[in-house]
Chains A and B, each alone.
Chain A
Amino acid sequence: MQRDLNAILEHIAQLNELNTAGVPAMAQVGEMLGGVVDSTGNSLREDAVRPSLDRAAVMACAPESDGRFFKVPKVIER
C-alpha cells in the first residue's frame, strides 16, 4: 500500500510543473458555464413540503435499529 501510494503521489507531483498563479479553482462544471444552479434561484426547486421516503423502510435497512433510532455501540467510555 505504501509503495503504491508513493508511486501515485510521484505521478501527481507533475502538476507542479504548471504555473497556476491567478487561475481560478474549479469545483463544479457549472461554474465554467455561467452556473448550473442559477444565482437568482430560478433553477432551485420550490421550498415546499413533499413526501419523503417511508421512515420504517429506511430504518429497516440499518444493521441495528429500534425503529426510531439507529443503535450503535457505546460512544463514551467511562
Chain B
Amino acid sequence: MKLESLTIDRTQAAMASGEMTATALAELYYARIESQDVQINSFLALSRERAMAQAAKIDGIAAKGEALPALAGVPVGIKDVLVMQGAPATAASLILKGYIPPYDATAVTKLEAAGAILLGKMNCDEFAMGSSNENSAYGLVLNPRALDRVPGGSSGGSAAAVAADFAVATLGTDTGGSIRQPAAFCGVVGVLPTYGRVSRYGLIAFASSLDRVGPLTKNVKDAATMLQVIAGKDVMDATSSDRPVEDYVARLAEPVEGLRIGVPEEYFGEGLDEEIRAAIDGVLDGLKMVGCVVKPVKLPHTKYAIPTYYVIATAEASANLSRFDGVRFGLRAEEAKTLSEMYRKTRDAGFGAEAKRRILLGTYALSAGYYDAYYRKAQQVRTLLTRDFLAAFAEVDVLVAPVTPTPAFKLGEKTDDPVKMYLEDIYSVAASLAGICGVSVPCGSTKDGLPIGVQVMGKHFDEATMLRVAQAVETGQRSA
C-alpha cells in the first residue's frame, strides 16, 4: 500500500473490502514514523497502545461485515495542545512536563468514535504561540518539502506529518493562522472552522475568543469529512454553536458556477511575494473559467489586524496561562520556601521566551492605567475589522487571498525579531478576529519547489460554500 496516495475514503474502502486491516495499516505508519520522524520531529509522543486497541476494534467490525464509520482505520495525529487521556500533554512547554491528562478533548472523542486511529501527539509552538514551530521546548520541526525551512506554526508538526505521510490527517488549532499558515508552507489543506463550529473542550487555552480546532489533510474532501465529524454543539463548551452541522461532503458536489468571489485588494499590496501573487492570479483565472464571478472588494481596516490581534491574543493569554502555577499539574520548581517563590521559580523555569513575552505584554495591556488605551481600543478595532467582512460578504460568497506573504522561510531566519515574525500572520489574523471560516489550499509551488497556498474565506458558518470553492481550486490545480 502506497501511503502517499492514501486518503480517508481510500483507507475506509480498503478496510471495508478487506484489502488491508486497521492493525496492519497502523503498524505501517508507526514503522514509517519510527524510521523517518527522527529527522522531521513532528511527533512528541506516540499512543501505540490506544491506537492498536482501536485498530483491533475496527478490524473486528470489518470482519463481521458490519458498516464501518466514516474514519474507520484512518491514522490521525493530534496537536499537543489538545488533551488525550493517557497520552502526555505538554503544549510543547516545559511547564506541563509530566502531565498526563485524565480526559479527552471533545474533538478527540469524536474522531475516535468515528473510527480514527489516534497515533500520537504532534509537535507545535509552545502554547500554540508562534509562526515557525521554533518555539517548541522539544525541538524544531523540519519542513518535509524543504528540510532547511520551517514547517510554519504553530501547528507545524500537524502539517509536517501530513506532508511526510506520517498520518492521513491531523488536528491542529488556529488562533491567528496556526492551521492555515503551516498548511500553506507544507503543501497540505488546512481548515479554520467558524468560531463556535467545533468544541474547544480539552483544548489548552491560549486566547479563548480566538482559538479554534480544525483539520489538516491531503485534500479538500478529506478536510470536509474530518470537519463533519468534529463539528457540532457540545455541552462542555458554552461558545459552541447549536446550528445543525451541514453535510459538507455531499455539498462538495454542488457546482460553483455563478458563485461570487471577492478579491480583497488590501491583501495584494506591497510585501507579497511575486510568485505567490502570480499563483493566486492563476487560481482566480481558473475560477472564472468554471463560471465564478470574480470582483474586487475592500477590507479597509486590514492593516490594523496585526496590532489588534497582538493586544487581544496576549491579553487573553496572560489570563489563561495563569493556571500554570505548579500546583495542579505539570512542573513544580524544587527548593522553594514559600508559595510565591514556588510560583515564580516554576514559571521562570517552565515558560519559554515567547510565552513570557506574551504574558508580559498581555498583563501590561490589561493593567489599570493602560486597559482603555490598549485592550479596549483593540476590542473596538476588532468590531471594525469584523464589520469589514460582514460588508464584503453582503456582496460576495467567499473571499480569495494569499495565506502568507512569503513561502516557507529558512530555519532561524526570523527568530531574532518578534515583530517580523508576527507580520508573517498579516493575511491570516483578520479572519481569526472576525470569527469567519477559512481554508488554505495548495495552488502550486515556487521555482525553488516551495509549496504555495491560497486562502478561501467564507461567511460565518458557511464552511460548505468555502469548501466547494476550495475544491474547485484543487481540481483546477490537477488539470493545470
The interface of chain A, by Cβ under 8 A from chain B, is: 1, 4-5, 7-9, 11-18, 20, 23-30, 32-33, 36-37, 43-45, 53-54, 57-58, 60-64, 70, 72-75, 77
Residues in B neighbouring A36, C-beta threshold 8 A = 196, 238-241
State whether A29 touches B435 (Cβ < 8 A).
Answer: yes
A62 closest partner in B (C-beta): B328
> Considering only CB atoms and an 8 Å cut-off, how many residues of chain B contact the other chain?
61
In the complex, chain B residues whose CB is within 8 Å of the CB of A45: 235, 238
B380 x A8 contact (CB < 8 A): no
Q: Which of B101, B353, B418 is the one whose CB lies under 8 Å from A7?
A: B418
B435 contact set on A, CB distance < 8 A: 29, 32-33
Main secondary structure of the interface of A (DSSP, over half): loop
Contacts of A62 in B (CB 8 A): 327-329
Please, which residue of chain A has its CB at the minimum distance from the CB of B239?
A: A36
Tell me, yes or no, whether B311 is within 8 Å of chain A by CB. yes
In the complex, 8 of the A-B residue pairs with CB atoms within 8 angstroms, ordered by the A residue number, are A7-B417, A12-B307, A17-B304, A20-B377, A32-B390, A61-B99, A61-B101, A70-B327
Assess the A26–B383 pair: CB atoms within 8 A: yes
Cα–Cα distance between A13 and B374 once the two chains are bound (Å): 9
Q: Is B357 touching A24 in the complex (CB atoms < 8 A)?
A: no
Cβ of A10 to closest chain B Cβ, rounded Å:
8
B residues less than 8 Å from A77 (CB atoms): 338
Q: What is the distance, in angstroms, from A38's C-beta to the closest C-beta of chain B? A: 8
User: Using an 8 Å CB-CB cutoff, how does the interface string of B96-140 with A read, 1 for contact, 0 for none?
Assistant: 000111110000000000000000000000000000000000000
In the bound complex, residues from chain B placing their C-beta under 8 Å from that of A54 are 102
In addition to A18-B381, A45-B238, 19 A-B residue pairs with Cβ atoms within 8 Å of each other are A5-B357, A5-B364, A8-B310, A9-B361, A11-B307, A12-B378, A14-B307, A15-B308, A15-B378, A23-B381, A29-B196, A36-B241, A45-B235, A57-B102, A61-B101, A64-B332, A72-B327, A73-B336, A75-B338
A50 to chain B, nearest CB (A): 8
Across the interface, do B209 and A11 meet the contact criterion of CB distance under 8 Å? no
CB < 8 Å: which of A25, A32, A37, A61 contacts B328? A61
B342 within 8 A of A: yes
Contact of B337 with A by CB under 8 A: yes
A26 & B331 in contact (Cβ 8 Å cutoff):
no
Contact A73 B339 (CB under 8 A): yes
Kindly state the separation between the CA atoms of A26 and B433 in the bound complex, as whole angstroms.
10
Whether A23 contacts B308 in the complex (CB less than 8 A), given A61-B101, A73-B339, A74-B338, comes out as: no
Q: A23-B384, A29-B195, A75-B339 are in contact. Are A18 and B327 (CB under 8 A)?
A: no
**With a CB–CB cut-off of 8 A, which chain A residues contact B384?**
18, 20, 23
**B336 and A11 contacting across the interface, CB-CB below 8 Å:** no
| Nearest CB of chain A from residue B285's CB, rounded to whole Å | 33
Is B242 touching A43 in the complex (CB atoms < 8 A)?
yes
A62 to B98, CA, bound (A): 10
CB-CB under 8 A for A8 and B361, given A25-B379, A73-B339: yes
In the assembled complex, the CB of B382 is this many whole angstroms from the nearest CB of chain A, namely: 4
Would you give the 0/1 interface string for B375-407, flagging 1 where the beta carbon is closer than 8 Å to chain A?
011111111101000100000000000000000
Known: A61-B102, A63-B332, A64-B332. A4 touches B382 (CB 8 A): no
In the complex, what distance in Å separates the CA atom of A77 from the CA atom of B336? 13
B349 on interface, CB distance cutoff 8 Å: no
Contact status B377-A15, CB under 8 Å: yes
- B329 CB contacts on chain A under 8 angstroms: 61-63
